[in-house]
Amino acid sequence: QFSVTYSSQGGHYGISNPGYVPTAGGAPAMFTPPVADSQGPSAPPASMFDSMPGYEGTVAGGGGFLPPPMPAVPTPQPQPGPEQPHWNIPSISEDTAREAFALFASSKCCYSSAPAKEGVITSMEAFNTYRYRLETFTESRSTEWSHEPYSGQAVDAYAQPPPGPWDIPAQPPNFFLNGKKTIKVPYTSSVKSCHSCVGMGRKPCKDCAGAGNKVCWVCNGSGYRHGDDRCHHCSGRGRENCSRCHGQGSRQCDVCHGKQQLLVYINLTVKWTNNSDDYVVEQSSGLQVDNLSKVSGKELFRDSQYMVYPVMGFPDPSVVNAAQRLINDHQARFSQTSRILQQRQTIELIPVTKVTYTWKGNSHLYFVYGNEFKVSADNYPATCCCCTLL
C-alpha cells in the first residue's frame, strides 16, 4: 500500500511503499502511485463569496443583466422630427446605366462584354425604394464574482456599503458605437484561501500522479531491454523523471499562481449596444430586396434624440407604419433590461432603375441600384461554357 505526503518546504509530493523489492541490479524498483486526492474543486464554492448588500444575487460566472432603476427625474418626451417636404428621387442617365453594366460584365470572368457594349437600351424605369432604419443605443449592466492571485492588493470589504450597480459611474463611448467596460466594485474585495490547491500553492502533477517520475518509455517499465541487459535510460529502475514537473511531483497552482490566497471581489460589466432594425419597402420592380442590404442610398431624413417620435408626413404609409411598429418594439424589448441612452431613425431613398435593352434581336433587362450603381442581371445573354457547366 502506498502513502502520499506533501512537503510544503520542498514542494514535493512523496510516495512511499513499505513493500518494495529491489531489482536484480540493485536499483530500487519504482512503482506507480495512486493519484493524490489533494486538489480542490475546479470552480469556487458558493461559500467562498460573502454576502454584499445590493449584490445578493451575484454568482460566479455572472448573474444576468440587472434592470435599471426608475429615473429620478421625468424622462424627456419625444419631439416630432423635422418634416422633409421633398421626397423625390433623381433618375440615372443612360450613360450611367451603360457604364455600370459594362463594369459588371468585366467583373465576371465568364461573361462576354458584347451585350454591355452592343446592347441598345429601349427603356428605363425608376423605382422609389425606401429603407427605414431605427437604432436604439442601450446600456446594460451585469455583475459576477471574480478572483485573482493575492499579492498585497487593497482589501476593502465591509469598510462601508458598496455603491449600487447602477450608481457606479461609467462613461459611454460615442453614441451608436458598441463598447464594453469592466469595473471592480468598491468595498467588495476580501482575501480567501485558494480553492483549487486548498491553500498549498501547488498541485499534484497530473502527468505523473504526483510521483515525480513515470514509466520509462525505453524499457516500458521492466528495467531491462533484452534479457539481462539493464536499461541504461532509467538505470534499471523502470521509471524516469517526469519532464512536465521536472521530477518535483507537483506544479505551481494555475489559479493562485503559487500565492496560496486569492483576492475575491465583484466585477461590474457595463455593455453599450447599438440595436438596429431595418424595414425596406417592397417594390414591383422584380429586384430581390436582399440585394439592397449591400448598398447605400440617399439619406432623406434623420432624427436623433433620447426617444424618437414616429415619422410623420411621409408619402409612403408603409414606412410610417413600420416606424411606429419598430419604435414600440424597441421600447418593449430594451427598456426592461437596459437603459436607453439615445435613439436615431433614418430614411434612405435607394435608387433602383430597371433597364430594358435589346441584343441580337432579343429583349433583356438588368437592374442598377444603390449609390454604388450595383448591377443585377440574372439572365445575362452571353456566358461562356464554364458558367453553364457550373
Instruction: Single out the residue of 385, 140, 103 nearest to residue 270, CA to CA.
Output: 140
Instruction: Give residue 276's domain range.
Output: 94-135+271-376
The predicted-structure confidence for 364-386, as pLDDT tens digits, reads as follows 999 999 999 999 998 899 886 55
Question: In this structure, is residue 22 part of a structural domain?
Answer: no
Nearest-5° Cα angle at 88, 87 to 94: 155
Please count the structural domains in the chain. 1
Question: In this structure, is residue 153 part of a structural domain?
Answer: no
Are residues 387 and 110 in contact, defined by beta-carbon separation less than 8 angstroms?
yes
Give the separation between CA 384 and CA 246, rounded to whole angstroms.
Answer: 67
Quote the cell numbers at residue 322: 413600420
Are residues 253 and 247 in contact, defined by beta-carbon separation less than 8 angstroms?
no
Question: In this structure, is residue 334 part of a structural domain?
Answer: yes
Give the separation between CA 214 and CA 163, rounded to whole angstroms.
Answer: 53
Question: What is the mean pLDDT of the segment spanning 300-306?
Answer: 92
The predicted-structure confidence for 112-135, as pLDDT tens digits, reads as follows 999 999 999 999 999 878 999 999
Are residues 79 and 309 in contact, defined by beta-carbon separation less than 8 angstroms?
yes
Question: In this structure, is residue 303 part of a structural domain?
Answer: yes
Give the separation between CA 264 and CA 150, rounded to whole angstroms.
Answer: 9
* 242 residue type, one letter: C
User: At residue 120, what are phi and psi to the nearest 5 degrees?
Assistant: -110, 120
Higher per-residue confidence, 154 vs 3: 154
Question: In this structure, is residue 103 part of a structural domain?
Answer: yes
Quote the cell numbers at residue 90: 433623381
Question: In this structure, is residue 236 part of a structural domain?
Answer: no
Give the separation between CA 24 and CA 372, rounded to whole angstroms.
Answer: 86
Can you say how many angstroms the Cα of residue 34 is from the centroid of all Cα atoms in its chain? 41
Q: Residue 240 pLDDT more than 60?
A: yes
The predicted-structure confidence for 62-97, as pLDDT tens digits, reads as follows 766 788 887 665 566 666 655 554 555 667 899 999
Q: In the block, which residue shows the cell 509530493?
A: 13
Question: In this structure, is residue 323 part of a structural domain?
Answer: yes
Question: In this structure, is residue 261 part of a structural domain?
Answer: no
